[in-house]
Amino acid sequence: MELKLRRGGAMRLALGVYATFLCVFLMLPLVVVVPISFSSSSYLQFPPPGWSLRWYRAFADDPVWMGAAWRSFQVGVSATLLSTVLGTLLAFSLVRGRYPGKQLVAQIAATPLILPTIIYSIAVYSLFATLKLIGDWRGIVLAHTVHALPFVVIIVAAALRTFDVSLEHAAMGLGASRLRAVWRVTLPQIRPAIVSAMFLAFISSFDELVIAMFLGGSNMTLPKKMFDNIVNEIDPVIAAVSVLQIVLVSAILLVVARFGSGARPPD
Amino acid sequence: MAEAAVLPGTAVPRRWWSPHSGPALLAAAPLLFLLVFFLYPVFRLMLLSVEGGTTAHFEKALTDGLYVAVLLRTLEIAAYVTVLCLVLGYPFAYFLATATPFWATIGFVFLLLPFWTSILVRTYAWMVILGRNGIINRFLLDTGLVSDPIPMLNNLAGVLVGMVHVLLPYAVFPLYSAIRRVDPGLLLAAEGLGASGWQVFRRVFFPLTLPGVLAGSSLVFILSAGFFITPALLGGGRVIMVAVLIEKQVRELLNWGFAAALSIVLLGAVLFVYFLLRRLMRSELEWS
């Protein structure tokens, strides 16, 4: 559909100028870290006095930074897989099921979204302390899965609701079992939604600081290491890490755009 | 929805096993997971706040001037952020909804790229931009526009800039979808009946986008009330929000009971606003 501003040119122009300013505000922090990451100076000088790759090298040569990055990746992938499986099951149940208490289940599934992260963090910290799970990366995976679950449920449920069930019934009419029909017809159809959900789940874990701060103990994730660096030393390594993260996220976004768009069945 | 139409007044026999019980069973594993790793720890925390049968922690949280001030300050900041996000986000959402596909795509890229970028990265960047020797102050000093650096960090201004930057997309998305849903025929009708441009906006267009306004504002308010990273780093210890206070109580003072009471008070305030807005929206959660 087409909405048009009746006032015509002047208003349209003002809106365009405003949108440009807002885009500058949105992009400014991302753009600023790039020159700093290539600076030759240890101080936050802008513009940098000279150029070097020393902060990227400092990141790659530091086992603490690399360990934190690897741990975050490991936690992110695990939490993504777990929350995608659990969230997709829950979405199927909420969209297809008709049972007493469904409203309550939907409410419970949404609650981690409303509960401030700091409250969940200390709650799970106190529980995991008694279970001796503090400092164990698998503990962070469990908590991050809770954190990511509502995103997966919302996205997959929305896709399932627009999915035409008669396609699945047709497959079953042609002799497929329910499981096979879901696997070969329904899931390929909602694949873009699942890919988006996985992306969201991964980023929500990979960027998450507060839960990891409490549960990580001395085993730091990347956000915790970055937080400590900002608070304590604030050298341009953090800018180099920032640029690498921005590049990583952009790359994943491209992958999602590629695989999220087509809804072709496999084979 | 896969639900068959049920005529009003027809009794639906409820059996333990029916063709619809299969989907119900699918919820078992995720529900058990949430029960053990979400509901149980949160419930345990709530019990900690009244451990020993005393309500002293709540009395302290709700009557001690220091803590009441932090709580009110948190809600005040959340309200500022919400209003700023709506005011800044509404015209931008309108731009996205009405621009040509090319410009809308550009706008979305600029909105989404920061949205997907780590909050820590962005907070760090704001420290570089807003600091005493930051980019803005350097520019202002070099050009002679100011003689002393303007304090933009470790105060409310810095926290607001950082929080609005993080939360703006959460306001723009629901506003965008609400604006897209407006039927242009209604605007033409209002105009045809003699309404001025402002009247069309004020009496027709804006009320039609109200669900988006309410969805965006409740989301932004809830998220900002629990914010930790931005006030902790850009507030420089001078802008204390409840989340920062809770973290201190647990990690530095090991005062679990009081931290739990503060959490419940924060949660109560957030839920109060959430249900207030939900009532205003009169709409169900998306999937229910």
Least confident of A39-48, B48-57, B208-217: A39-48
Decide if A41 is inside a domain: no
As given in the structure block, the two tokens for residue A97 are 């099921």
For residue A39, list its beta bridge partners: A51
A253 contacts in B (CB within 8 Å)? 112-113, 116
Percentage with pLDDT > 90 across chain B: 36
Q: What are phi and psi of B10, to 5 degrees?
A: -80, 130
In chain A, the number of structural domains is 1
B124 contacts in A (CB within 8 Å)? 33, 226, 230, 234, 238-239, 242
Least confident of A134-143, A245-254, B16-25: B16-25
Q: Rounded mean pLDDT of A167-196?
A: 89
Nearest residue in A to B13, CA atom: A99
ipTM of the prediction: 0.86
Nearest to A210 among B225, B228, B266 (CB): B228
Q: How many angstroms from the chain centroid is the CA of residue A177?
A: 34
Q: Do residue B107 and residue A123 have CB atoms under 8 angstroms apart?
A: no
The pTM for the full model equals 0.85
Number of H-type helices and E-type strands within chain A: 13, 0
Q: Is A39 helix (H, G, I), strand (E, B) or coil?
A: strand
Could you tell me the CATH number of the domain that includes residue A113? 1.10.3720.10
- Does position A133 have pLDDT exceeding 50, yes or no? yes
Picking from A4, A5, A20, A26 by the largest number of B CB atoms within 10 A of its own CB, the best residue to mutate is: A26
The Cα A209–Cα A110 span in angstroms is 21
pLDDT at A157: 93
- Does position A122 have pLDDT exceeding 90, yes or no? yes
As given in the structure block, the two tokens for residue A38 are 């290539």
- Does position B286 have pLDDT exceeding 60, yes or no? no
Q: Do residue A178 and residue B22 have CB atoms under 8 angstroms apart?
A: yes
Name the residue range of residue A216's domain.
74-261
pLDDT band at B147 (very low <50, low <70, confident <90, very high): confident
What residue ranges do the domains of chain B occupy?
47-281
Q: Do residue A118 and residue B197 have CB atoms under 8 angstroms apart?
A: no
pLDDT averaged over chain B? 85
- Does position A255 have pLDDT exceeding 60, yes or no? yes
pLDDT at B170: 93
Decide if A58 is inside a domain: no
pLDDT band at A10 (very low <50, low <70, confident <90, very high): confident
pLDDT band at A223 (very low <50, low <70, confident <90, very high): very high
Q: Do residue A91 and residue B287 have CB atoms under 8 angstroms apart?
A: yes
Nearest residue in A to B185, CA atom: A3
The Cα B187–Cα B193 span in angstroms is 10
Q: Is A51 helix (H, G, I), strand (E, B) or coil?
A: strand
Q: How far is CA B265 from CA B18, B163, B193, B226, in A?
A: 43, 22, 51, 12
CATH hierarchy code of domain B47-281: 1.10.3720.10
Nearest residue in A to B271, CA atom: A114
Separation in Å, CA of B146 to nearest CA in chain A: 18
pLDDT band at B4 (very low <50, low <70, confident <90, very high): very low
Is the peptide bond preceding residue A47 cis, with omega within 30 degrees of 0?
yes
B246 contacts in A (CB within 8 Å)? 118-119, 122
The Cα A69–Cα B160 span in angstroms is 29
Q: How far is CA A197 from CA A139, A204, B185, in A?
A: 22, 10, 35
Q: Is B99 helix (H, G, I), strand (E, B) or coil?
A: coil
Nearest to B23 among A4, A15, A96 (CB): A96
Separation in Å, CA of B65 to nearest CA in chain A: 22
For residue B37, give the DSSP letter: I
Nearest to A96 among B2, B88, B127 (CB): B2
Decide if A266 is inside a domain: no
Question: Does B159 contact chain A (CB < 8 Å)?
Answer: no
Q: Do residue A242 and residue B124 have CB atoms under 8 angstroms apart?
A: yes
